[in-house]
Amino acid sequence: MGNPWRGDVVLVIEGQSHVMRLTLGALAELETGLASGSLVDLVQRFETGGFSTRDVLALIVAGLRGGGWTGRASDLLSAEIEGGPMVAARAAAELLARAFMLPETSDGGV
């Protein structure tokens, strides 16, 4: 089980649970590998529903790397993701949201 306060999102790939997290290093790798734009552009594409499958794959790979995975994007091309592409897209969006979300304090502030 992942820790949402740390930005963790769990995705089941080939029947195995993987904790994903967008660390600073994973975000830097993600930004370098984006086909177009910056992280801000990527966030905007997800907010407007204009993201591509390439965006989803890039986020999943970055999140897996941030969680300690040592594979490559090509390892996921034929992998079975539990719940299919929609679950993968939802997990990618959740990763992005959690990476930039500030935890709330008990007094309601940040």
Domain ranges within the chain, ordered by starting residue? 4-96
Q: Which residue has the tokens 């999102």?
A: 9
Q: Dump pLDDT digits (tens) for 7-44.
A: 899 999 999 999 999 998 888 888 888 776 788 888 88
Q: Dump pLDDT digits (tens) for 66-83.
A: 999 999 999 999 999 999
Q: For residues 53 and 55, what is the distance between their CA atoms, to the nearest angstrom? A: 5
Residues near 61 by beta carbon (within 8 Å), at least 6 away in sequence: 30, 72, 73, 76
In 3D space, the residue among 35, 70, 68, 71 whose CA is nearest the CA of residue 54 turns out to be: 35
DSSP 110: -
